[in-house]
A and B are shown apart, each in its own frame.
Chain A
Amino acid sequence: MKIYADNAATTCMSRRAIEAMLPYMEKVYGNPSSLYAIGQEAKEALETARARVAACLGCTPREILFTSGGSEADNQAIRSVALWGAKKGKKHIISTKFEHHAVLHTLKKLEQEGFEVTLLDVAPKGLVTPEQVAAAIREDTCLVTVMYANNEIGTVQPIPEIGALCREKGVIFHTDAVQAAGHLPINVVEQNIDLLSLSAHKFHGPKGVGALYFRRGVSLTNIIEGGAQERGKRAGTENVPGIMGLAEALEEACEGMEANAGRLIPLRERLIDGLSAIPYSELNGDREKRLPGNVNFCFEGIEGESLLLLLDDLGISASSGSACTSGSLDPSHVLLAIGRPHEVAHGSLRLTLGEDATEEQVDYLIASVTQVVERLRGMSPFWRDLTTGKRPHVFSK
């Protein structure tokens, strides 16, 4: 059996999105900045796409900027507010310890440029609270940026509440909604969001295209200088086919959102129950407040990369937060942020189900993971030490 269970990394493109892109590669390939017919036709399509994306988010088309993806949107959102803040003498930014690196690394750079950054702790369940944000806000705070849903453990943050608080305190609020868009209901007005980043390939759209919602009145700074595209806020010939794919995929995802969640949540629960039966394993992140398809576990006594390789042999594509898969000596900063010790974080597994997942697939995932964990534990001196009491267990069962 082949199961792609890494939908948080990227998704398979939907047929509708592909079909929506093709005409803009084959026929309407004009540059939207050109005045002749196929240029203007492309321009019109671009503006229609903008309106469709705006409708999905509950904002106006003027408030949508197309980018090369979620990372660029995050960079531009944060840098824009930082620059605005600096002009007003507000150089303090609040975020969390488990943001995506597109946010964390941008903040790191800003720190080097003289900004002060407060990274909020994340509770063991993988959630931050509006109270934490309230306590961190200062006179000179210009920006609060908190992700909508975490990319590793899938936990969904109290975005409307944090947004309301920021609104009340006069602080700009950005949310990286790369994992949430197309999967969770978003309405930027009702949820008090000033800036929001999304990426098409996380909801069955194409790679290399994303969008930034910026509330009217929030001034944007360019990350990419050049021509006057995107009303002068993002230079470069627009990725028209990509944008058409993004709009189509987002619309499709929003149309099917309720039905998809209704199907996925029971499958997610089945998977969590199945994996919980493995001794000395634990779910990462709150069980209820999480993305419909996200399951993330830590298993004691094993290492994530070898787990992934053996699962790959069984036809399963998954991911892990172990150091060996993160490309550094430390395991996932997300798992460390929620208090998992290094030795447990190395043994993590993320399975993110696609909308087409079936009960049969979930059962195969459970059987495969159980078998592979057992096999790796069988050759692990660390597991031996845990079972003989030479080292203490981290989990209670």
Chain B
Amino acid sequence: MALYSEKVMDHFRNPRNVGVIENASGVGEVGNPVCGDIMKIYLQIEDDVITDVKFETFGCGSAIASSSMATELIKGKPVSDALKLTNKAVTEALDGLPAHKLHCSVLAEEAIRTALKDYYDKNGIPYDPAQFPDEDSCAHCEKAE
């Protein structure tokens, strides 16, 4: 049996939405080089809808696939939907991840939330800070375990 599902390998080999959005509405970066994974999400938001999303990821196969899938799941969706995206939804859309790789999907969820928080901050939109991850935390490593 292969380490990853066909879906994971497809998104790893042909990642969707790789790149950068200049002057994005919101940018979120989570993870750190010491842990071995960093995800950066760029959101273009117009009238409360995510019109474009790009990502850059430093990490393993499942980190790249999780970012790719997460961007696909929120592209064209209202901000309120993106806020509800869970790591579980990302994992399920990928037809599952090995147990020790679940933190990659957590990282994707957190990257999107961090980007949304950045969008709120930039636009002075009020929000409940509790719904966003701490920046520079390594929580994704433990959260998945």
Contacts and interface: CB of A to CB of B under 8 A. Distances in A.
Interface of A: 301-306, 309-310, 313, 322-324, 327, 329, 331, 341-343, 346, 378-384, 391
A306 B56 contact: no
A341 B34 CA distance: 8
B118 interface: no
Given A301-B58, A306-B64, A322-B60, A381 B29 contact: yes
17 contacts: A303-B37, A303-B58, A303-B60, A303-B63, A309-B9, A309-B61, A313-B13, A322-B60, A323-B35, A324-B60, A342-B34, A342-B35, A343-B33, A378-B18, A379-B15, A379-B57, A382-B58
Interface of chain A, main secondary structure = helix
Contact of B59 (A303, A313, A331): A303
Contacts of A303: 36-37, 58-60, 63
Chain A CB within 10 A, most for which of B34, B63, B100: B34
A301 B57 CA distance: 10
Contact of A342 (B33, B40, B101): B33
Given A303-B58, A306-B64, A381 B39 contact: yes
Nearest to A308: B61
B64 A379 contact: yes
A361 to B, nearest CB: 23
Nearest to A329: B141
Contacts of A383: 58
B50 to A, nearest CB: 19
Interface string B134-145: 000000010000
Give the interface residue-count category, chain B.
20 to 34
B119 interface: no
A374 B58 CA distance: 13
B36 A379 contact: no
A303 B34 CA distance: 11
- Which 3 pairs between the two chains have the least Cβ-Cβ distance? A343-B33, A305-B60, A382-B58
B36 A342 contact: yes
A340 to B, nearest CB: 12
Contacts of A302: 58
A385 to B, nearest CB: 8
A382 B141 contact: no
A380 B58 contact: yes
Contacts of B61: 305-306, 309, 324
A258 to B, nearest CB: 39
Given A306-B61, A329-B35, A329-B141, 14 more contacts: A305-B60, A306-B63, A306-B64, A310-B13, A323-B36, A324-B61, A343-B34, A346-B33, A379-B15, A379-B18, A379-B57, A380-B38, A381-B56, A381-B58
